[in-house]
């Protein structure tokens, strides 16, 4: 199967500039391509993963990637479908974010092996030395204001106001394509569907200034079966940085996708073959309650993003918490697994009596309720049921000397830290 046809079969293609010409180019030889990522935070998130995976598919098919981190465009801010202008960051902040994002991209693409090994690029390398006058004369003259205002990403902001800084962003992104073509013969750009206007600004500049043809692939905005934008959990982005979204949290996110989405997401977010996914689908449909598709999806994505060891740890935390085997987990593992539960830091003058501590920590509202819960067997300490009203917590109740886990009832967890 042609790599373009496989990308389409996986649901990874939303728009292209000239599908037949692009398929022909991909079939006939090595295509140099790029996808750009602006450092608007210190980490990429799940929304960035889809174009990254397209880049990886293309590299595995023999094509050569030139991932770009926008050290220059990150200083400006992309207005595409944003309700308001971004806050501008300092050069030092953006430079630090560039390095972190470059490190993340290096986990998905091969920068070391083969003739098609990836080459990292940064658009500050060409924008940092070009003068404003030269840019207006050599680039700006190829864009009419009418053309720029016709972009959907700009139209939305015209009514509320858009600064010249953000208005000019599409020219900067267009110039990226031109420079990468000049330096490395890059002829294909990959990005999100919201980037269509900026990306076609690049093909227009290539045509008018360089008399060359460039191609564009946009990936779809991923939504779940209810139409909700995918990649958010409890209102927060799912980050690719383990310190911002732990491997356990990411594992749980994928484990909990709806049945109606699981097979589609296996095609989009994993490198299992379409034949393997078809086999998984038949097993999944025969016994959906076993959630095989979600388990495989969670395993594949967490392993891809964080590695096999992180996946095994996430699986261990999941299984031991489900079984209530708190003592089988380290403090580090429990901090991952219970990061979203209520937390109370025990003070030096707090009573360590179980009844008193239940009230002080806010786990229950009154001593009467605390005594009832303890006597009824509703309180567990690190997985062990406590029914003694006079029980005193000691250092032996601290896991790795750092925390104690209290469970009230079957599912309500609380963490005491010291």
> Residue 117 annotated as binding?
no
Instruction: For residues 108 and 236, give the distance between their C-alpha atoms in angstroms, rounded to a whole number.
Output: 23
> Residue 232 annotated as binding?
yes
Instruction: For residues 221 and 258, give the distance between their C-alpha atoms in angstroms, rounded to a whole number.
Output: 18
> Residue 34 annotated as binding?
yes
Q: Which residue has the tokens 């042609």?
A: 2
Q: Find the distance separating the first CA and the last CA of the chain, reported in whole Å.
A: 58
Instruction: For residues 110 and 62, give the distance between their C-alpha atoms in angstroms, rounded to a whole number.
Output: 11
Instruction: For residues 348 and 173, give the distance between their C-alpha atoms in angstroms, rounded to a whole number.
Output: 57
Rounded to the nearest angstrom, the gap between the alpha carbon of residue 118 and the centroid of all alpha carbons in its chain is: 21
Q: What residues does 389 pair with on adjacent strands?
A: none
> Residue 316 annotated as binding?
no
Taking each helix axis from N to C terminus, what angle separates 292-306 and 259-269, rounded to the nearest 10 degrees?
30
Output the six-digit token pair for 325.
């085997």
Output the six-digit token pair for 66.
């030139």
Could you write out the DSSP letters of every residue in 63-126? -EE--EE-TTGGGT---TT-SSPPPPPPHHHHHHHHHHHHHHHTTTS-SSSSTT----EETHHH
What's the DSSP call for residue 238? Answer: -
Output the six-digit token pair for 264.
């589609």
- Specify the long-range contacts of residues 345-348, CB closer than 8 Å, at least 24 apart: 345/416, 345/417, 345/418, 346/416, 346/417, 346/418
Let me know: does 400 contact 331? Beta carbons within 8 Å: yes
Output the six-digit token pair for 385.
């049921």
Using DSSP, state whether 97 is helix, strand or coil: helix
- Annotated binding residues for ATP, written as ranges, equal 232
Binding site as annotated, residues for L-tyrosine: 34, 169, 173
Provide the annotated binding site.
Answer: 34, 169, 173, 232
């Amino acid at each position: 199967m042609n790599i373009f046809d496989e990308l389409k079969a996986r649901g990874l293609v939303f728009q292209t500039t000239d599908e037949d010409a692009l398929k022909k180019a991909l079939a006939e030889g090595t295509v140099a391509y790029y996808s750009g990522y602006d450092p608007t935070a210190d980490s990429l998130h799940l929304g960035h993963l889809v174009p990254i995976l397209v880049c990886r598919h293309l590299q595995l098919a023999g094509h050569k990637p030139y991932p770009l981190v926008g050290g220059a465009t990150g200083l400006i801010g992309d207005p595409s479908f944003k309700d308001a202008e971004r806050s501008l960051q300092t050069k030092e902040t953006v430079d630090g974010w560039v390095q972190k994002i470059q490190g993340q991209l290096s986990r998905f693409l091969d920068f070391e092996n083969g003739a098609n090994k990836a080459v990292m690029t940064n658009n500050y390398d060409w924008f940092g030395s070009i003068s404003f006058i030269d840019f207006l004369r050599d680039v700006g003259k190829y864009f009419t204001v009418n053309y720029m205002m016709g972009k959907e990403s700009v139209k939305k902001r015209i009514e509320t106001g858009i600064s010249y800084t953000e208005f000019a962003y599409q020219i900067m992104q267009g110039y990226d394509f031109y420079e990468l073509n000049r330096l490395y013969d890059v002829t294909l750009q990959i990005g999100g569907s919201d980037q269509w206007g900026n990306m076609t600004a690049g093909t227009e500049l290539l045509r008018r200034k360089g008399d060359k043809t460039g191609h564009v692939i946009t990936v779809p905005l991923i939504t779940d079966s209810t139409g909700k934008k995918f990649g958010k959990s409890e209102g927060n982005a799912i980050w690719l940085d383990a310190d911002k979204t732990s491997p356990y949290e990411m594992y749980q996110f994928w484990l909990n996708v709806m049945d109606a989405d699981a097979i589609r997401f296996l095609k989009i977010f994993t490198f299992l073959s379409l034949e393997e996914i078809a086999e998984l689908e038949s097993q999944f449909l025969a016994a959906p309650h076993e959630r095989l598709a979600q388990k495989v999806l969670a395993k594949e994505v967490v392993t891809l993003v964080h590695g096999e060891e992180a996946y095994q740890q996430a699986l261990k935390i999941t299984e031991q918490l489900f079984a209530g085997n708190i003592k089988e987990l380290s403090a580090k593992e429990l901090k991952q697994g219970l990061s979203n539960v209520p937390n109370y830091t025990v003070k030096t003058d707090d009573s360590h009596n179980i009844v008193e501590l239940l009230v002080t920590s806010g786990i229950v509202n009154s001593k009467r309720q605390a005594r009832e819960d303890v006597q009824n067997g509703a309180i567990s300490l690190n997985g062990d049921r406590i029914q003694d009203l006079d029980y005193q917590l000691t250092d032996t109740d601290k896991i790795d000397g750092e925390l104690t886990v209290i469970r009230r009832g079957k599912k309500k967890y609380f963490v005491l830290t010291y």
